[in-house]
Amino acid sequence: MKKILVITNMYPGRISKTFGIFVKNQVEALRSHGTDVDVAAVDDPRMGKPNVLKKYTKWMLQTMRQLVSKGKQYDVVHAHYVFPSGFLALAFKKLFGTKLVVTAHGGDIDKMPHKNAFIFNQTKNILQNADHIIAVGEALKEEIVQTFGADEQRVTIMSMGVNRDVFTPTNQQAAKQRLGLDPNKKSLLYVGNIIEAKGLRELLQAYSSIKAKDADTALHFVGSPKKEAFLQELKQTIEEQTIEDVYFLGPKPQQEVALWMSAADVFVLPSYIEGFGLVAVEAMSCNTPVVGTDVGGLSYLLRNDHGVLVEPKNEASLQEGIERVLYNKELQHTLTTNGEKQAQDNDQEVLTKRLQEIYEKIGEN
């Protein structure tokens, strides 16, 4: 049996049960399939210089302890996010010849490396030295190969997977009743971090225009703000423009998120950048139609009537896309049917076995 060390700068902890939950889900799925997995992780989402210094110092010390005390025991070190996680993971490879797997999630490819030359060069070095790279979306694979010179033969496109035992359809009216929602109101839902880059200003304005024409609509946000100032900006806009039926619900456990998805009439993901868009597949797995921006992984995920693609940073396009779904039963049926196929293709059970096969294959080389 392979012994794996997962190194990640996002993982649920005491402060946030949803921070990097997709990494924890994969770790637990691997363990349930018999893989021995240790974790060295940042489990604190709080920002600000003092918090960042404290949590990253703690993480580096934890990883170094693993390196000194158990480094020789690991067959594979799996880094989630190329930099900085891959930077720490590379030490195991250099010292002990441990096989290195890196999962690129999006921002670590199209955002982080462009902050400065040091991070760009480290990202390139990590990708070129990895024994295998997992890109969560097709656009990321192209960037990894073309910009960073990674060997295409060592890159696999594979999402983190959806737990279909959790994200399973519930009758919409029953879900609304359980959540105390008005059964006559059409619900728009967003799930994710409350940050500017997710296009939430545009979503709020698109909803405002829809609400002006159709009073029987509501908008629900599920997730945590990374910067309280941005959340307050959205709330101020709501107050100044008197936009009714907008609710910020905070983070929720995954079982409850799935219930909100089942209750929603349309799930909206208006991101400026998106490596894959796993949360959109989770909505599809609950048989909820998805509207998302034509960026990154969403461009591939929602094409061919698996969802509705709209222009990023364009509230008029977003409004039109949402209205197409809300008032077209035939389109809703098409999106639900095709979305189910995407959910099947991204079933966590199937992808966990594929990941184990990657671990085994690189161990043979």
Third-level CATH fold of 3-161+347-364: Rossmann fold (3.40.50)
Place of tokens 């996002």: 10
User: What average pLDDT does range 25-30 have in this prediction?
Assistant: 96
**pLDDT-based confidence at 275, cuts 50/70/90?**
confident
DSSP code string of 54-109 = HHHHHHHHHHHHHHHHHGGG-SEEEEESTTTHHHHHHHHHHHH--EEEEEE-SHHH
Residues 6+ apart with CB under 8 A from 251: 16, 17, 18, 222, 223, 224
pTM equals 0.89
pLDDT at 365: 67
Buried-state track 251-282, b at ≥16 Cβ within 10 A, e below 16: bbebeebbbbbbbbbbbbbbbebbbbbbbbbb
pLDDT for 48 beyond 90: no
Q: Where in the chain is the domain with CATH 3.40.50.2000?
A: 3-161+347-364, 172-345
| CATH class of the domain comprising 172-345 | alpha beta
Cα atoms in the 13 Å half-sphere on the side-chain side of 17:
8
Cα atoms in the 13 Å half-sphere on the side-chain side of 293:
22
* pLDDT tens column, 289-329: 999 999 988 999 999 999 999 999 999 999 999 999 999 99
CA distance 247 to 255: 19
* pLDDT tens column, 192-213: 999 999 999 999 999 999 999 9
